[in-house]
Chain A
Amino acid sequence: MDAPLSERLSTFADDVRRLSPPFADIVDRMLKRLYDSGAGDGAPNIGEPMPNFVLPDETGHLVSLEELLQKGQVVVSFNRGHWCPYCRLNADAMAHVEKKVKDAGGQFVLITPETAKFNKTLKQDARALFPILTDLDSGYALELQLAIQINDEKRIAMTAAGWDISKYQDNENWTLPIPATFVVGKDGRVKARFVDPDYRKRMQISDLIAAVES
């Protein structure tokens, strides 16, 4: 539990490869496709303005980036959903440092394409206080060029694993965001970012804190 996030993510990924090599192979093929196509390259870079969002949180209240920025820096974290073990580890790690980030003048906001019911689950499981917002139909992720289409091979593998995301997202689109984290300064510009189509990798918590404190 006290291991760094990267170690916990890596341990889980190793277990998946060991227990289900065919699934791991499908992931490898998907990642090659995503890397080859430059998926995520168009997301806001350091120094660029972070586009505003107005999205509902898990209680049904609308939350905007502009409104959050009036209170301080914002760590915007894109996650795939409550079903994703890597996202759960990420949410858990963020919840553990929520106070530290707040003391440094920052605040977390998580974004998933899932409806409030499932975001509530993610929040409760992580014992988080931060809001988890619904980006319905991946509209904001599309704007940031972070939305990807799940191909048939991966969709079938996910469904077989019990992850029918259409039920969680209230659509049949089979799109997911590339997991990404942006540290947005009070001026609305990106101070630090982590974007990687490999959903098993997330921004190091130490890097995130360093960015907020800088």
Chain B
Amino acid sequence: MEQMTPILSEIAGAFPNIEINIFRGPPHEIADKMKSGDLELAVSEPLGDEWERFDARKLYQEEFGLLVNRTHPLLQRNSVEIEDLVNERLLCRPYCSLTDMLELEFRKHGLTPPSKHEVPLVEDLASMVRANLGVGIWPKSREAGGDLRLAQIQGFDMNALISLYTVFGRKQSAAASTFVRLLRSKDWSAEGQPAIMAGESLH
């Protein structure tokens, strides 16, 4: 959402009477709302829906890591393998496709996915990691604080392609059309890039 706020601010300036209705939900619900016309556009991970009228334009790729406490034993290892996480508790956000992919990865290795806590707010996720309630799936572009570290799982890329979705042939409001132009014209090259976390070297 942080990436969208400057754009929404431009829209609010250009359309002073606009009322913005933001929906956050799982991809299939977003897809349904797009099809029914309840949503004019979406910025989302892949919707997983092959409807021919969806027009998807790639915006950027968000990279993630495993957020752990600085004192967590995982950091003592040279590399983190999927097997190392079996006894961990996962902290994940609702509708996060990476959680599903990670659980699938466990099953591929013949392992039972670890249990998890669902945490709606990303800020709360960092607090819960700090309180040793688990390890969290965390966007690398976001700073979490100097007492936390990001770990990578060997052989498992954690990233999500973020795209703009519109519907072919559907008339857009002037505000939605301007929003689309702002999104498409924006220089996204810096988005999804790692934020330097204190005391951490990034490679």
Interface set of A (CB-CB < 8 Å, partner B) = 54-56, 58, 60-62, 64, 115-117, 120, 134, 136, 139, 170
Contacts and interface: CB of A to CB of B under 8 A. Distances in A.
Interface residues of B, number: 14
B10 A56 contact: yes
B104 interface: no
Contacts, number: 42
Chain B at the A interface: mostly helix, strand, loop or mixed?
helix
Chain A at the B interface: mostly helix, strand, loop or mixed?
mixed
Interface in B176-190: 178, 181-182, 184-187, 189
Contacts of B189: 117
B169 interface: no
Contacts of A54: 14, 178
B178 A62 contact: yes
B62 to A, nearest CB: 18
B181 A60 contact: no
B185 A134 contact: yes
Contact of B184 (A61, A62, A115): A115
Contacts of B185: 56, 60, 115-116, 134, 136, 170
Nearest to A113: B185
B186 A60 contact: yes
B13 interface: yes
Contacts of B6: 60
Contacts of B181: 55-56, 134, 136, 139
B53 interface: no
A170 B59 CA distance: 10
Contact of B10 (A58, A60, A117): A60
Contacts of A117: 187, 189
A54 to B, nearest CB: 6
Interface string B161-203: 0000000000000000010011011110100000000000000
Nearest to B174: A54
Interface in B97-144: none
